[in-house]
Amino acid sequence: MPCDNVNELMARAQRGGYALGFFESWNLESLQGTLDAAEAARSPVILGFNGEFLSRPGRVAQERLELYAAMGRVACESATVPCGFIFNECANMDWLRRAAILGFNLIMPADPDMPLEEYQRSVASLVKYAHARGVSVEAEVGELPCGIPGTVNAHGMATDPQAAERFVAATGVDLLAVSVGNVHIKIDGQQGLDLERLAEIRRRVAIPLVLHGGSGIAAESLKQAVKLGVTKVNYGTVLKQRYLAAIRAALKSSQTNPHELLAMGGADDVMVAGRLAVRDAVLQRMEFLGCSGKA
């Protein structure tokens, strides 16, 4: 089936009292692992890639957005569960507009260095461009702290409920990501959320709310957030951690045949190990979101 309309997926989640996960992919194995989990759980899911990573100028080898877009479109078409497809967190407007015409049906402009008023104008313009092409837009108010030691934005900036209300009214954005104690790239441990702040945002903002930094949110706090109206949660760090651990373990095999280690699909295949690790991590997170069996 083609990519499902994200606004409709979010509306069903709001009515059903559950949230969908965006489980970030970075290659074919991670994408297939996410699909494997969604189909096993009979859960709708958001597939996609990190726009900041793909578009960053410092990459050693430049990426072709067309390849990622085609891979994601085919993944949605082959799936037996409803799928949205996001180009996530990108400050480059050219890449965002290209994503909107290449098949991503949810795009997210993100530029924490841009003043809020300028960001608001930029998002409003992008919303018009995207909506004319049937593409939804997610934006953010506030800034998540970063869990990597020594980073500049270690403390972040919590979302102001009144600012969030004004931003949504001014931009016409479809989903709003908020900062309520969640942390980007939290390497170790988990923590709770500022549920009072989240509840006040919910009172002022009717559109679906999004939590980035899902890997570092404690399970019970996350369940409460879903009850308060969060309908999308992003995961990336924990998936890559599990993937890397599985790959490292698989490479300790005594197998010397390179074909057994790569692409034959057997017990020694490191690509299979990564795919299964992502699948299992996604299945675990879907339990917290309440989305299993909702496809």
pLDDT at 228: 94
Q: Is residue 223 part of a domain?
A: yes
**Amino acid, res. 142:** G
Asked whether residue 294 is assigned to any structural domain, the reply reads no
Q: Tell whether the model's pLDDT for residue 86 goes beyond 70.
A: yes
What are the DSSP calls for 86-146, one per residue? Answer: EEEEE--HHHHHHHHHHT-SEEEE--TTS-HHHHHHHHHHHHHHHHTTT-EEEEEESB--B
pTM: 0.96
Token pair of 173 as six digits: 């954005």
How confident is the prediction for the chain on average, in pLDDT?
95
Written as six digits, the tokens of 176 are 């709003």
Does some domain include residue 264? Answer: yes
Whether 154 is covered by a domain: the verdict is: yes
> Which stretch of 143-157, 162-176, 219-233 has the lowest confidence by average pLDDT?
143-157
Q: Which of 130, 116, 213 is nearest to 166 (CA)?
A: 116
* Element holding 45 (H helix, E strand): strand 45-50
Planar angle of CA 62, 67, 72, nearest 5 degrees = 130
Residue-number span of the structural domain to which 183 is assigned: 6-289
The answer to whether residue 295 is domain-embedded is: no
Region of 75 (left: φ > 0; alpha: ψ -120 to 50; beta: rest) is: alpha
Would you tell me how many other CB atoms lie within 10 Å of the CB of residue 11?
A: 13
Residue 40 is part of a domain; what is its CATH number? 3.20.20.70
pLDDT value, residue 151: 57
Q: Indicate whether 229 pLDDT > 60.
A: yes
* Confidence (pLDDT) at 187: 86
Residue 143 vs residues 155, 200, 270: alpha-carbon distances, Å: 9, 17, 36
Count structural domains, the chain. Answer: 1
pLDDT digits (tens, 9 = 90+) for 3-53: 999 999 999 999 999 999 999 999 999 999 999 999 999 999 999 999 999
22-31 confidence digits (pLDDT tens): 999 999 999 9
- Does any domain span residue 22? yes
Beta-bridge mates of residue 217:
191
Tokens of 37: 């989990």
Residue 1 domain-assigned? no
Give the integer Cα–Cα distance in Å for 55 and 57.
6
Closest to 232 measured CA to CA, from 2, 9, 3: 9
How many Cβ atoms are within 10 Å of 78's Cβ, its own excluded?
A: 12
- Structure-derived torsion over alpha carbons of residues 142, 168, 210, 161, reported in degrees to the nearest 10: 50
Give a yes or no: residue 56 inside a domain. Answer: yes
Average pLDDT over residues 186-198: 92
Note the pLDDT tens digit of each residue in 125-157.
Answer: 999 999 999 999 999 999 998 887 655 456 689
